[in-house]
């Protein structure tokens, strides 16, 4: 099974990103709601809203694949131009941190805004800007450290781990919301 997965993510990077994030991102969101409310809520009535959420997550998975590749190149150019630390040009934890930092500072807020906007359209809610600002804070305390680990992996494994991180964050936020 692991051989099939590794072959699939190497040979079909865009499709595998869409599938991984579509399924795992949606599961993480459902799990967070389950923890917060104490019961499963599938964004009903009917399967349409859930299907649309899966499609939005799948689209985000595709953007993750492009953004992750692009921000590796972004860091390379910054190093080449002398705008960032030379050590980020070599493999290692500081390179992974640098890619994570720029990905989360430049791509993260826009992606979260888009995701929150589509969630509100699907669920027919008004935009809660205070909640979005709290979500942006996760870029600092969760996503930059998590993606430092993510960007330490080979590129074909990065989106899959990011999708697993989405589940972990869903669990964390679900418990925080339940306490409040």
CA distance 82 to 175: 43
8 A C-beta contact, residue 71 and residue 102: yes
pLDDT in tens, 17-71: 999 999 999 999 999 989 999 999 888 777 999 999 999 999 999 999 999 999 9
Residue 6: what pLDDT? Answer: 98
The two structure tokens encoding residue 100: 């994570």
From the centroid of its chain, how far is CA 64? 7
Q: Which residue has the tokens 């579509």?
A: 22
pLDDT in tens, 122-150: 999 999 999 999 999 999 999 999 999 99
pLDDT in tens, 91-113: 999 999 999 999 999 999 999 99
The two structure tokens encoding residue 96: 């992974």
């Amino acid at each position: 099974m692991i051989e099939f997965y590794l072959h699939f993510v190497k040979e079909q990077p865009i499709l595998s990103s869409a599938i991984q994030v579509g399924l795992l991102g949606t599961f993480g969101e459902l799990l967070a709601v389950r923890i917060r409310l104490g019961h499963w809520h599938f964004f009903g009535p009917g399967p349409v809203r859930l299907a649309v959420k899966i499609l939005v997550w799948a689209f985000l998975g595709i953007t993750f694949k492009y953004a992750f590749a692009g921000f590796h190149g972004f860091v390379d150019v910054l190093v080449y131009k002398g705008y960032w630390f030379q050590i980020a040009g070599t493999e290692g934890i500081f390179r992974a941190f640098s890619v994570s930092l720029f990905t989360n500072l430049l791509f993260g807020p826009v992606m979260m805004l888009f995701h929150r906007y589509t969630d509100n359209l699907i669920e027919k809610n008004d935009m809660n800007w205070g909640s979005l600002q709290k979500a942006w804070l996760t870029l600092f305390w969760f996503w930059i450290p998590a993606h430092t680990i993510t960007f330490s992996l080979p590129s074909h494994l990065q989106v899959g781990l990011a999708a697993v991180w989405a589940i972990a964050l869903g669990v964390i936020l679900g418990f925080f919301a339940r306490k409040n």
